[in-house]
Amino acid sequence: MNTITKQASRDILDKQIIGLNSLGLPLRTIGEKIGFHPTTVTQRLDALGVERADTRHAFMADIYDNLNESQKAWLMSEVSEHSNIKNYVQHLLLRAYHQSQGAPN
């Protein structure tokens, strides 16, 4: 006998949608991961009052443009050490994860 209710199942699904959206994944990718059409993902986010993540290619440009010149120079030198922004962000995320787990980097 399945003890999970339809509402509980929807709540779990909604948490997955919100979590994946918060990571900045495109609606299509979210839909593929949970087995729903992107339109369904959009409808759920709208029904929950959750703003859709900015997945435009200009995402990093928006971040960069809001930094002052000193911050921009610092970021460029940091990213250069890691080869690109994707590697740098991954490094930061893994370091934060390990710290949250009480483990060394």
pLDDT tens-digit series, residues 16-73? 999 999 988 999 999 999 999 999 999 999 999 999 988 877 788 888 999 999 999 9
Place of tokens 């900045």: 24
Tell whether the model's pLDDT for residue 1 goes beyond 50: no
The CB density around residue 21, as the number of other CB atoms within 10 Å, is: 22
pLDDT given for residue 58 in this prediction: 79
Per DSSP, 90 falls in state H
pTM exceeds 0.75: no
Q: What is the mean pLDDT of the segment spanning 98-103?
A: 92
pLDDT given for residue 16 in this prediction: 95
Q: What are the CA-CA distances from residue 74 to residues 64, 83, 91 (Å)?
A: 11, 14, 16
Nearby residues of 29 by Cβ (< 8 Å), 6 or more positions away: 20
Tell whether the model's pLDDT for residue 83 goes beyond 60: yes
